[in-house]
Amino acid sequence: MKVKSPLEIYKLLPQTNCGECGFDTCMSFAAHVLDRTAKIEDCKPLVEKAKKDKKAAEKLKKLKEMTAPEIDEVIIGKDLKIGGEEVLHRHELTFFNPTALFFDVSDTMDEKTIDERCSRVVEYRKFYVGRYLTLDGIAVRCVSNDPEVFVRVAKKVAGYGKPMILVSLNPKCLERALKDVKEYNPLIYAANEENYKEVLKIAKKYDVPAVVRSKDLDMLKSLAATFKSHGVKTVIDPVTEPFGKGLQKTFERVVQIRRTAIMMQDKDINCPIMITPISAWMAKSDDVSKMYWETVIAALFIVKYADVMILHSLEPHSIMPIVTLRANIYTDPRTPVQVEPGLRAINNPDRSSPVMITTNFALTYYTVESDLQSSGAKGWLLVLDTGGLGVEVSVAGGQFTPDKVKKLMEETKVAEKVDHRYLIIPGLAARLQGALEDETGWKILVGPTDSGRLKAWLEQNWPPKKEVKS
């Protein structure tokens, strides 16, 4: 995004503060556009005026150009976004659209295998720091080189409702499949030096995004520029060479492409990047080694700068590291990962169970919760909104305060759930003990600094020697 201040956006808005965009003021809207939590098109008064008024149309055009991401955003299927990145390094801002992970089926696989693989893609869910990690889509590879065989499998895969990539260098096969599955907006892969004229014609005719592919960066740039100039949403594939020097060269090509796009503002090549870790399966080695290399390649390019990938192994040991790494790279470093504040019941607590408190920083919360769950200890766990900060930082920074704790206890009506008036606070919040007792009127017990020791601590200290009655 070229623009760096909301004021630059604000200047071109109607400045009527009408609120139609869902924000109270045009300045607030501008700030959200800058933050990518709102789109220029959400300002309906401007969009409507632009249809009749030349000046408004120019302003709208300028705003769109100013706020367009550095890397083009491409949509596959209904709403899977790839690309749309702004920076080379996550710490400069954030990365926006996680690398989309597609898993292959080929049109020469038997029906049972295709169904099994598609089901695994659809059903994969891994719980991680408060959310489920999933897989994105299915790449249908045309191995038969037979348009009728290819379309049959493409239609079958479309039935699974996941975004699709149609993989063939034969334009006839691509076109035959698109006739029947165009409505699913698949990405077509790939146009190269030999077939690009036909693939371009097909991409335009069926209005679908397309991948251009070449190891030669000049050729890749020329192909991308040609496709983009015809209005085709374009993804670039610099060819993934999976081994030795080839892998090193692939990495260098990818870094050069993204640097050229962002630092040199080269609009010919500012496209999402396709990487194919599946190429590790070309090795003449055992399957475990192939899976290993596929995962290594995927990990390397999730870090730098793949926007979409095609993989083969659906084994948990291949997928788990990839989706976990992706989740970490694509979290927003400006916003700590947090959970909903409130009161949680752990292991069916009763009226005599201890009441404990922690913060809503996801890593702290899930550590405490899982330590309690696995210990079998019953308890009530208050989760304080500290803006996603951990205990020590929030105590020091003023987000973990006695008045906020009191408010949380009142909101959750925790006093109605137990017969005692004891609250166990983390050891790292020990210095709040006196102030918390004054504010809440409850007896404050200082627990361990590490929730891994909570079980042993509770065994020694709960129930307290002297019960305080309400």
For residues 32 and 117, which CB has a smaller minimum distance to ligand SF4 in the complex? 32
Residue from 5, 7, 11, 18 binding ligand SF4 (CB under 6 A): 18
Using the rule CB under 6 A, give the single segment among 8-16, 68-76, 110-118, 225-233 that binds ligand SF4: 8-16
Q: Find the binding residues for ligand SF4 in span 390-429 (CB under 6 A).
A: none
Using the rule CB under 6 A, give the single segment among 15-23, 200-208, 272-280, 371-379 that binds ligand SF4: 15-23
Residue from 21, 187, 297, 425 binding ligand SF4 (CB under 6 A): 21
Q: Least separation, in Å, of the C-beta of 2 and ligand SF4?
A: 19
Q: Least separation, in Å, of the C-beta of 32 and ligand SF4?
A: 9
Q: Is 20 in the site for ligand SF4 (CB under 6 A)?
A: yes
Q: Is 321 in the site for ligand SF4 (CB under 6 A)?
A: no
Give the strands of the sheet with 187-191, arranged side by side: 234-237, 210-213, 187-191, 164-167, 137-141, 100-106, 308-311, 274-275
For residues 45 and 427, which CB has a smaller minimum distance to ligand SF4 in the complex? 45
For residues 36 and 120, which CB has a smaller minimum distance to ligand SF4 in the complex? 36
Q: Least separation, in Å, of the C-beta of 75 and ligand SF4?
A: 24
Q: Is 19 in the site for ligand SF4 (CB under 6 A)?
A: yes
Residue from 17, 170, 367, 461 binding ligand SF4 (CB under 6 A): 17
Q: Is 45 in the site for ligand SF4 (CB under 6 A)?
A: yes
Q: Is 40 in the site for ligand SF4 (CB under 6 A)?
A: no
Residue from 31, 34, 43, 151 binding ligand SF4 (CB under 6 A): 43
For residues 18 and 255, which CB has a smaller minimum distance to ligand SF4 in the complex? 18
Q: Least separation, in Å, of the C-beta of 86 and ligand SF4?
A: 22
Q: Is 86 in the site for ligand SF4 (CB under 6 A)?
A: no
Number of residues that bind ligand SF4 (CB under 6 A): 14
Q: Is 345 in the site for ligand SF4 (CB under 6 A)?
A: no
Residue from 29, 102, 227, 293 binding ligand SF4 (CB under 6 A): 29
For residues 19 and 441, which CB has a smaller minimum distance to ligand SF4 in the complex? 19
Q: Is 53 in the site for ligand SF4 (CB under 6 A)?
A: no
CA 190 – CA 201 distance, rounded (Å): 13
The 3-state secondary structure of the chain reads CCCCCHHHHHCCCCCCCCCCCCCCCHHHHHHHHHCCCCCHHHCHHHHHHHHHCHHHHHHHHHHHHHHCCCCCEEEECCCEEEECCCCCCHHHCCCCCCCEEEEEEECCCCHHHHHHHHHHHHHCCEEECCEEECCCEEEEECCCCCHHHHHHHHHHHHCCCCCEEEECCCHHHHHHHHHHHHHHCCEEEEECCCCHHHHHHHHHHHCCCEEEECCCHHHHHHHHHHHHHCCCCEEEECCCCCCHHHHHHHHHHHHHHHHHHHCCCCCCCCCCEEECHHHHHHCCCCHHHHHHHHHHHHHHHHHCCCCEEEECCCCHHHHHHHHHHHHHHCCCCCCCCECCCEEEEECCCCCCCCEEEEECEHHHHHHHHHHHHHHCCCEEEEEECCCCCCHHHHHHHCCCCHHHHHHHHHHHCHHHCCCECEEEECHHHHHHHHHHHHHHCCEEEECCCCHHHHHHHHHHHCCCCCCCEC
Q: Is 63 in the site for ligand SF4 (CB under 6 A)?
A: no
Using the rule CB under 6 A, give the single segment among 41-49, 200-208, 263-271, 367-375 that binds ligand SF4: 41-49
Residue from 6, 9, 12, 13 binding ligand SF4 (CB under 6 A): 13
Contact residues: ligand SF4, CB under 6 A:
13-14, 16-21, 23, 26, 29, 43, 45-46
